[in-house]
Structure 1
Amino acid sequence: MQPDTNKGPASAGPLFDVVAKGASLLTGAVLVSLVVLVCVEAFLRGAFNYSLGFAEELTGYCVVFITFFGAALALRGSAMFQVHFLMDRWSAPTRRWATRIFVIIALVICVILAWKAKDLTLSSFARGKFAPTVLRTPLWVPQLIPPLGFAVLGFFLVEQFLLTFRKSGDKS
């Protein structure tokens, strides 16, 4: 029997694992919904020259959701771009400090953007704004995606920060 070499991303604890699993399931469900909606819309247009009318609006919301939550999951899985020609040459302590500095800067940016996005969402909610589309979606509904996305991204940034304090041989 072969040893399991794919143990998944490093984890800072079970809370991070649960949030990652939830985000992964939700993102997967949204992706499946997006694919089904696009396929149904393409079939109806090609076969019957009929459009659902609301497909473009919903697919836009899905793409934004997948972008935010996918970025958070990519960060957790260490699938983001890195400057390897520098990172590979640096010592382990230097890499840890570079990661800490990156995480702190990124976390500050996430908090600011989440805060501003939250303000926009609350403003749309208070003023009762609706999208000028077929569904007449209350604008605060899709505007919830950015603050939630930044919050999940920030959550996994905190995990990355905590992982920098682990000993280099400790992966889980």
Structure 2
Amino acid sequence: MTFKLDPLYRLGAWGAAACMLAICAMVTFQVLLRCLDAVLVLVGASRLGYEISGVSEIASYLLVGATFLSLAYTFTHYAHIRVTLVIARLPAAARAWCEVVCLAIALALSALLSWEVVGLIQESLDYGDVSSGLMAIPLWIPQTVLVVGLTLLCLAILEALLTTLRQAVTAPSRYVAPGENDGFGDNDNFGGE
């Protein structure tokens, strides 16, 4: 299956990678500062006592960003776990329609979650909600990243749904499940069959 909006999903994946790199950089810098203090104490000098305040809080928000921004990319590359024990044994036409139903349910749930998070952002903006940690980060910022990731996922699911629906209507007997013809073999794909 070819996704027309793949560059957009890749942009989300790059955002997720940037979040992971930022986490790694912050934690590494924090560890290096602690190691420097330890070395100073070993040689009899006094500690510098430098540290990045709120590393845990920032890292947790970045982890949420990395998780949600990568959802669409991992979906389009069949890296989400798929349990196909039942559908794999159905005829091609029945598999196509089962896939359509599953994608429609996934789209509905993802869209509902996106809608609710948009409401949460509005609430955070109305009340001026900030995080309760050492740094007062406005909560609408990490919540916006959630909506961006969920919206990308909705677009990816919608693309897959339309493609699968078209195939279910026009040529159901030739339906091939996503990831089956990806060059990795029948059971070695990233879909986790």
Native 8 Å contact 1:12 1:163 kept in 2: no
Q: Which residue of 2 aligns with 1:43?
A: 32
Q: Which residue of 1 aligns with 2:78?
A: 78
Relative to the length of structure 1, the TM-score reads 0.82
Q: What is the CA RMSD across the aligned residues, in angstroms?
A: 2.2
CA deviation digits over 1:104-139, x for unaligned, max 9? 111111111111111111111122222223321112
Native 8 Å contact 2:12 2:149 kept in 1: no
Q: Which runs of at least 4 in structure 1 moved beyond 3 Å after TM superposition?
A: 166-171
Whole-angstrom CA distance in 2 between matches of 1:150 and 1:101: 20
Which range is displaced more, 18-27 or 56-65? 18-27
Kindly tell me: are residues 88 and 42 of structure 1, through their superposed partners in 2, closer, same or farther at Cα, counting changes over 3 Å?
Answer: same
CA deviation digits over 1:48-81, x for unaligned, max 9? 2643112111110111111112222211111111
Native 8 Å contact 1:12 1:162 kept in 2: no
Q: Which residue of 2 aligns with 1:31?
A: 20
**Matched AA of 1:17:** D
Native 8 Å contact 2:69 2:146 kept in 1: no
The higher radius of gyration belongs to: 2
Relative to the length of structure 2, the TM-score reads 0.74
Q: Which residue of 2 aligns with 1:130?
A: 130
Gapped runs of 5+ residues in structure 2? 38-48, 182-193
Q: Which residue of 1 aligns with 2:107?
A: 107
Tell me if 1:69 matches 2:60.
no
Whole-angstrom CA distance in 2 between matches of 1:59 and 1:42: 14
**Matched AA of 1:26:** G
Whole-angstrom CA distance in 2 between matches of 1:113 and 1:169: 30
Whole-angstrom CA distance in 2 between matches of 1:169 and 1:56: 47
**Matched AA of 2:32:** F
SS at match of 1:65: helix
Gapped runs of 5+ residues in structure 1? 1-9
